[in-house]
Amino acid sequence: MLGNKAIEIMKARKFENVELNQTVTFEDNGMVEVGVVCNIEDNKFQLRVWRSWDNCGIITFNETKLNFFKTGTKTHSHYTNGNAIEITGTI
C-alpha cells in the first residue's frame, strides 16, 4: 500500500516524462478535451488544441495553445481551462 508521501510524489511527477506529439486530456468548461504536446520546457509543457464551433451555419476553427506545469496544473490561475488529466496516446 502506498503512503501519502508516495502518492504526492506520483501526482507531482504525473507529466514528468511527457513527450512531443503525445495526446493529453484536460478539463475545459466541464468537458474533457484532448490536445497534442507541441512544446516541452524544464517544468512546463504546451498543448496545441483545435476547436470548432458553428458560427451561424459556418463551421469555424481556431488553434489554441495551452500551457501546463508538469504537475498537470495550468500555468496561470486566470486561464479559463482546467488542469491536465492524463497522457492518452501518441500521434
* Radius of gyration for the chain, computed over Cα atoms and rounded to the nearest angstrom: 15
pLDDT digits (tens, 9 = 90+) for 19-45: 999 999 999 888 899 999 999 999 999
- pTM value is 0.79
Q: Judge whether 51 and 81 are in contact, CB under 8 Å.
A: no
- Note the pLDDT of residue 78: 76
How many domains does the structure of the chain reveal? 1
- Look-up: residue for cell 504546451? 46
Q: Judge whether 21 and 36 are in contact, CB under 8 Å.
A: yes
Cβ count within 10 A of residue 85:
15
- Note the pLDDT of residue 79: 76
- Note the pLDDT of residue 45: 97
Task: Give the C-alpha separation, 64 to 80, whole Å.
Answer: 12
Residue 78 structural domain = 4-90
- Note the pLDDT of residue 11: 52
- Look-up: residue for cell 512546463? 44
pLDDT digits (tens, 9 = 90+) for 37-87: 999 999 999 999 998 889 999 999 999 999 999 999 999 877 778 899 999
